[in-house]
Amino acid sequence: MTKEFKIGLLALIASIMLYTGFNFLKGTDFFSSTKRYYVVYDDINGLTISNPVMVNGLSVGRVSSIEVLQKDNNKLKVTLDVRDDITLGEKTEAWLSDAGLLGGKQINLIIHKNQKNFQGGETLIAKIQEGMVKSISNQATPLANKVDTVLNQAVILTKALVKSKDDIAASLSNVSGITGKLNNTLGKGEIDQIIHNVNALSASLVAMQKQFQPIVGKMDNFADKLNKMELETAVKQANESMQNLNQILAKVNKGEGTLGALANNDSLYQNLNNVTNSTNRLLIDMRENPKRYVNISVFGKKEKK
């Protein structure tokens, strides 16, 4: 073997080891067979070749290639190499999610109970999980809006306080003046005199109340007696009136007096009725034969009978 042949052989072996080691570091397992599956995403959010394929936190494969489907609205076809001992089916979901806080991407396989098992070369159901950064951003946006509103209110309040500083200064000046007047009043002893007068007035009212209490008691007794007397008098008069009325009614029932005669004897009624009838006949005759009762002659000539 010549030196050139040895150098060439050594370079070939080194190249093969470099390629094998590089692919091994990317996740390629040369000692186990894999099955190939496909997933179509609208957006892969930074997914790259050799990113891991996980099942419940265990790496079971890797992303082998990414293809742009320009005829299908530029969707992205991701090829997955998964260990052949992992059985996938028509309900298996491929979730594109974050691999950690550093922003890496990975594909998590959610394997459900399947009625049909895949043999390799099928397309899995594509799902995209909301990233951690986006989730924090969505939660922070309302908080930022609230903080902005609070800051705006604080600015408005500050402006209002600046505009009203003159009013506040005037109010403080008035308070100072009132305080000074109170100090002068206290120094002169006027407050003490007012308190002394109020105490004296209170004592006078207490004494007057003690004097009025017997008078009020007597007035209450007098009012009670007056009410009692008036009630007894009214009841007595009512009893006497009822007795007199009963006596009158008893006499009327017995036929005594004029009312008794009218109530018990109908002869007066008959006489009055006869008089009324006679009077009616007389008036009718006077209306029909007036000359029988009134005879007037202008020239002194008498009518024949």
For the stretch 56-70, pLDDT in tens is 989 898 898 999 999
Beta-strand runs (E) in the chain: 34-41, 52-55, 58-69, 75-83, 93-98, 105-110, 125-128
Predicted confidence (pLDDT) at residue 298 exceeds the cutoff of 60: no
Question: Domain ranges in the chain?
Answer: 1-31, 33-129, 135-163
Q: Are 112 and 89 in contact (CB under 8 A)?
A: yes
For the stretch 214-244, pLDDT in tens is 777 777 777 777 666 666 777 788 888 888 8
Q: Are 63 and 53 in contact (CB under 8 A)?
A: yes
pLDDT at 116: 86
Task: Enumerate residues 6+ apart whose C-beta is below 8 A from 1.
Answer: none
What is the arithmetic mean of pLDDT over 158-181?
A: 74
38: its two tokens: 């496909």
What is the arithmetic mean of pLDDT over 71-97?
A: 91
Helix (H, G, I), strand (E, B) or coil at 302: coil
What is the arithmetic mean of pLDDT over 36-51?
A: 91
Q: Are 200 and 193 in contact (CB under 8 A)?
A: no
Band of the pLDDT at 186, cuts 50, 70, 90? low
Q: Name which of 47-51, 111-115, 250-254 the model is least confident about.
A: 250-254
Query: DSSP states of 155-191 as a string?
Result: HHHHHHHHHTHHHHHHHHHHHHHHHHHHHHHHHHTHH
Predicted structure pTM score: 0.40
